[in-house]
Amino acid sequence: MFSTNPFAELSASIDPAIMQAYVIVMILCVVLGTLFDIVHKKSAKYFFANWRNAQQKGARQVGGGEIATLAVQTAVVEVATSGEFCNPQRRIAHLLTMYGFIAYVIATVVMVFGYPTSATPAPAIWPTLWTIGALLVCVGGYWFWFFIRVDVAAEGNSPFRLIRADLFIVSLLASVTFGLIWAFLQTTGIGGTMIFLGLYLIASTLLFGGIPWSKFSHMFFKPAAALQKRVENANGSRSNLPEPADKPEILGSARTLPRHY
């Protein structure tokens, strides 16, 4: 399983061109879904309006070089290491899921387009990366879903309670889980391969096609919002805002931070 390209094995029954067309359609769904989300929710309009407002209220102008430095800091802290999470468990779960998903997607694209048949065997690194990436998503995602979610850990709700905001994480976990089961069954020849392939495709279509209704596009918005916050701090336009309450004692009464903090 770690060394077998599951998509090359599938080419015996499904034309590789169909698999490649499906991946292209999913990529288009991400692009178009994100653009629709931006237009529908007016995220870009709101972002640029706040940016202009911050520039006008700022005590000083932030130059292009400084903005580039702030962008690098944002990429390193907020994006690469998820520094915005104060809860270390939530941060680790997020990093496992994020890097696992990136490895999973990259390996999928490489194997589907670069090594679509058994006639061109994929180097072992790609199926290994695909499998490890999917496993990391499962570890981080299920850990978050059953133990870290605010409504479960802090509010006592059932981990099986579903709302529309859960569409992204549920479809993501379903996609990688069914994908792993499908690849395993295909390797062992136990049976039921086509059933789990169908479930894998349904979950993946829901994941990439449901962007306008899920939180998938937030991964593109959050870095922009983090950069804007750094620029506002640099030019002084946030200096009139109150600092967050990050101390356990407030007005003389001992209080503990919420579990999801």
The answer to whether 228 touches 52, Cβ cutoff 8 Å, is no
Taking Cα atoms as reference points, which of 100, 108, 131, 118 lies closest to residue 24? 108
| Gap between the terminal Cα atoms of the chain | 39
Q: Could you tell me how many residues make up the chain?
A: 261
pTM, full prediction: 0.79
Rg (CA), the chain: 22
Q: Has residue 75 been placed in a domain?
A: no
Phi and psi based region of residue 244 (left: phi greater than 0; alpha: psi -120 to 50; beta: remaining): beta
165 vs 58: CA distance, rounded Å: 35
54 vs 232: CA distance, rounded Å: 6
Using 50, 70 and 90 to split pLDDT, how confident is the model at 242? low
The answer to whether 210 touches 216, Cβ cutoff 8 Å, is yes
Q: Has residue 79 been placed in a domain?
A: no
Q: Per-residue pLDDT for 252 more than 50?
A: no
Q: Has residue 155 been placed in a domain?
A: yes
Total structural domains in the chain? Answer: 1
Q: Which domain holds residue 12?
A: 6-53+86-233
Q: Has residue 58 been placed in a domain?
A: no
Of residues 223 and 247, more confidence is placed in: 223
Paired strand residues for 249: 254
Q: Has residue 64 been placed in a domain?
A: no
CATH classification at residue 189: 1.20.950
What are the E-state strand segments in the chain?
Answer: 249-250, 253-254
Q: Has residue 182 been placed in a domain?
A: yes
Q: Has residue 31 been placed in a domain?
A: yes
Using 50, 70 and 90 to split pLDDT, how confident is the model at 61? confident
Both tokens of 30, joined, read 């991400």
Q: Has residue 176 been placed in a domain?
A: yes
235 vs 25: CA distance, rounded Å: 42
Predicted confidence (pLDDT) per residue in 129-177, tens digit: 999 999 999 999 999 988 888 666 666 677 777 777 788 999 999 999 9
